[in-house]
């Protein structure tokens, strides 16, 4: 065994995050670590790499007991990690981020030239040739940052590589690139821990898997011998509620919004959009194809420089998010790592935040009302927290995500944009969220749903708009909405360069 963890226990005030967990990792295998949001996966990783001090338990690496007290010590022992929340440091250059702590020096001075060369070598094979390593990391997209973080961890991991939801912000092609790298490392005899909520990816890449539930070890098995339903059963502790098949398509509701010729130079070409009451519009396309850009323009995050929007009462001002919110728009952005939760505020406060902002600070929402709201969403989204007063920063990554979602749902906007609402959310909660979308639209809310998962789009949307190369290229309605048609529309006329993330 390359790495063995025995009887690891970790408690946080009010929560037993890990309860006597055992885990082992062989050299030359990809070991998937699975479980619901809040099961303890990230905590296990953090105890292993010295971010959290464990209460009890032992860790052996290659037969020697180790007890890293910091990430640095873990790195020195040969364990490289991509943490779920970390995006490296946006204010340093790409090269500095990559070589951090191991910058090549000459006479004690960092050699810029060597550092650049080393960084470029580290990035080779990840398809990031357009990235200038001397630029600040923050100027690149989240996907690029994620790949840089992975490249860094790979370079640091002499023996063990840990990837905590590395694919949450990657598209299919980038994921494939990552998997190629991972397979190469496996061949070289590294042990790789892979955490993900994408079960397809787990089945594709992993050799063995371990399931945690409520901080306990449930099972460890060969991936090949495990079937999907059994796995979900292990994770949830019960069967997945039968997904309610495909939604019955609604058409011909009252027209609520009309958008004409809305565009932003360099971001998204002019598009028209009519939104009807109670409908779900799916937005499909590759990462960087103009999906998020469409949402940004609609919400005033990047103000449109052309076009207009009207509703029954006349024109709508979409120049800033504030005016868009005033017009009854809501937007749960994809990049929840950066503009999501406020970690130090409680679940209740985070949920009430947007609603409060909309009402204005002079009209505070009564405590009792806030508490009712918070408890309502904790129940509906199955947010795993000891209570509404817990600081959001103490929740697991997926549960933090649910809080952000709850914040926008609580505003009860008439038009809600959801950008990848189920990224990083476990299979159980995934179904809950789709159910909730159904309920909300039944009450009249209109939703623009952006998602890379076709199943999700197909299950939830009344029509699907396909975006490619910053253009809305086609619209599928009713029976046309199926995986094959969506893929065809995305791929049709695809020119050689494809759709790379900018």
Partner 1 sequence: MNARALPLYATIAIFLIAYLICYIQFPAMLSTRVIGNLLTDNAYLGVVAVGMTIVILSGGIDLSVGSVIAFSGVFIAVMLRDTGLHPLIVFVLLLAVTTAFGAAMGGLIHGLAMPPFIVTLAGMFLARGAAYMLTIDSVPIDHTFYDDVLQDAYYRMPGGGRLTLIGVVMLLSVAGGMTLAHRTRFGTAVYALGGGQQTARLMGVAVGRTTVLIYAFSGLMAGLSGIVFSIYTGSGYPLATVGTELTAIATVVIGGTILTGGAGYVFGTLVGVMTMGLIQTYIVFDGSLSSWWTKIVIGLLLLLFILLQKGLLIFGRKQRDIAA
Ligand X SMILES: Nc1ncnc2c1ncn2[C@@H]1O[C@H](COP(=O)(O)OP(=O)(O)OP(=O)(O)O)[C@@H](O)[C@H]1O
The residue ranges that bind partner 1 (CB under 8 A) are 51, 70-72, 75, 81, 83, 86-92, 96-97, 100-101, 103, 105, 108-110, 135-136, 139, 141, 156, 265-267, 302, 502
CB of 95 or CB of 232, closer to partner 1: 95
Q: Which is nearer to Mg ion, 293 or 426 (CB)?
A: 426
474 forms part of the interface with ligand X (CB under 6 A): no
**Helices 367-380 and 347-359: angle between axes, nearest 10 degrees:** 120
β-strand pairing of 105-106 with 109-110: antiparallel
Query: In this structure, are strands 471-477 and 56-61 parallel, antiparallel, or unpaired?
Result: unpaired
Out of Mg ion, ligand X, partner 1, none, which partner does residue 86 contact, by CB within 5 to 8 A per kind?
partner 1
- Identify which of residues 278 and 424 has a Cβ nearer to partner 1 in the complex: 424
Neighbours of 166 (CB within 10 A): 25
Measured in whole angstroms, how far is the alpha carbon of residue 217 from the centre of its chain?
A: 25
Count of positions on this chain that bind ligand X (CB under 6 A): 19
The yes or no reply on residue 410 touching ligand X (CB under 6 A) is no
Decide: is 421 part of the binding site for Mg ion (CB under 5 A). no
Site string for ligand X, 132-171 (x = CB under 6 A): ----------------------------------------
The stretch among 77-85, 319-327, 345-353, 363-371 that binds Mg ion (CB under 5 A) is 77-85
Q: Which of 302, 275, 247, 186 is nearest to 461 (CA)?
A: 247
Indicate whether 350 belongs to the interface with ligand X (CB under 6 A). no
Q: Which is nearer to Mg ion, 199 or 263 (CB)?
A: 199
List the single partner that 373 binds among Mg ion, partner 1, ligand X, none, CB under 5 to 8 Å by kind: none
Query: In degrees rounded to 5, what are phi and psi of residue 429?
Result: -65, -30
Task: Look at the chain and count its residues.
Answer: 502
What gap in Å lies between CA 427 and CA 419, rounded to an integer?
18
In the list 2, 31, 32, 40, the residue contacting ligand X (rule: CB under 6 A) is 40
CA distances from 170 to 121, 232, 316, 333, 374 (A): 21, 23, 34, 15, 31
What are the Cα distances from residue 100, in Å, to 49, 80, 95? 17, 13, 8
**Contacts with Mg ion, 234-273, as mask; x by CB under 5 A:** ----------------------------------------
Site for ligand X contains 343 (CB under 6 A): no
Which structure tokens are listed for 449?
């749903």
Q: How many helices (H) and strands (E) does the chain have?
A: 17, 22
* Contact between residue 456 and residue 340 where contact means Cβ atoms under 8 Å apart: no
For the window 148-167, what string marks contact with Mg ion as x by the rule CB under 5 A?
--------------------
Which residue number is nearest to ligand X in terms of Cβ? 398
Q: Which of 12, 53, 222, 272 binds ligand X (CB under 6 A)?
A: 12
Smallest distance from the beta carbon of 55 to ligand X, in angstroms?
13
When asked if residue 42 is in the footprint of ligand X (CB under 6 A), the reply is yes
Cβ contact 341:403 at 8 Å? yes
Full strand arrangement of the beta sheet holding 56-61: 15-25, 3-12, 56-61, 64-66
Residues that bind ligand X (CB under 6 A): 12, 15, 17, 35, 37-43, 84, 384, 394-399
């Amino acid at each position: 065994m390359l790495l063995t963890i025995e009887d690891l226990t970790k408690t946080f005030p009010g929560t037993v995050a890990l309860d006597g967990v055992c885990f082992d990792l062989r050299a030359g295998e990809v070991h998937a670590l699975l479980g619901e949001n809040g099961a303890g996966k990230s905590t296990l990783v953090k105890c292993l790499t010295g971010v959290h001090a464990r209460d009890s338990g032992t860790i052996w690496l290659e037969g020697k007991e180790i007890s890293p007290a910091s990430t640095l010590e873990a790195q020195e022992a040969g364990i490289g990690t991509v943490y779920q929340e970390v995006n490296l440091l946006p204010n340093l250059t790409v090269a500095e981020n990559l070589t951090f702590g191991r910058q090549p020096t000459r006479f004690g001075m960092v050699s810029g030239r060597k550092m650049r060369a080393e960084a470029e070598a580290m990035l080779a094979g990840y398809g990031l040739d357009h990235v200038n390593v001397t630029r600040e990391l923050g100027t690149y997209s989240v996907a690029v940052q994620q790949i840089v973080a992975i490249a860094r961890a790979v370079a640091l991991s002499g023996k063990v590589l840990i990837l905590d939801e590395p694919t949450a912000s990657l598209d299919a092609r980038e994921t494939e690139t990552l998997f190629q790298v991972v397979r190469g490392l496996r061949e070289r005899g590294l042990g790789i821990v892979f955490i993900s909520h994408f079960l397809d990816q787990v089945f594709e890449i992993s050799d063995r898997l371990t399931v945690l539930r409520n901080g306990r070890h449930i099972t460890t098995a060969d991936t090949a011998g495990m079937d999907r339903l059994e796995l979900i059963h292990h994770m949830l502790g019960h069967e997945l509620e039968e997904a309610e098949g495909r939604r019955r398509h609604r058409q011909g509701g009252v027209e609520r919004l009309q958008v004409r010729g809305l565009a932003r130079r360099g971001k998204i070409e002019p598009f028209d959009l009519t939104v009807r009451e109670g409908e779900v519009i799916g937005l499909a396309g590759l990462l960087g194809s103009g999906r998020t850009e469409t949402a940004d323009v609609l919400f005033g995050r990047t103000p449109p420089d052309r076009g207009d929007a009207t509703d029954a009462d006349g024109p709508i001002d979409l120049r800033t998010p504030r005016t868009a919110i005033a017009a009854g728009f809501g937007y749960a952005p994809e990049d929840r790592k950066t503009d999501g939760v406020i970690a130090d505020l409680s679940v209740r406060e985070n949920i009430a935040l947007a609603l409060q902002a909309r009402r204005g600070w002079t009209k505070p929402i009564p405590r009792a009302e806030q508490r009712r709201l918070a408890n309502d969403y904790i129940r509906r989204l199955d947010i795993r927290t000891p209570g509404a007063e817990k600081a959001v920063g103490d929740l697991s990554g997926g549960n933090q995500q649910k809080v952000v979602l709850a914040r926008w749902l609580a505003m009860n906007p008439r038009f809600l944009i959801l950008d990848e609402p189920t990224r990083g959310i476990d299979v159980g909660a995934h179904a809950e969220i789709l159910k909730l979308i159904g309920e909300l639209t039944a009450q009249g809310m209109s939703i623009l749903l952006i998602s890379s998962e076709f199943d999700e789009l197909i299950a939830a949307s009344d029509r699907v708009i396909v975006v490619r190369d910053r253009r809305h290229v086609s619209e599928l309605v009713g029976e046309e909405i199926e995986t094959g048609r969506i893929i065809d529309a995305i791929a049709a006329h695809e020119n050689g360069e494809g759709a790379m993330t900018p």
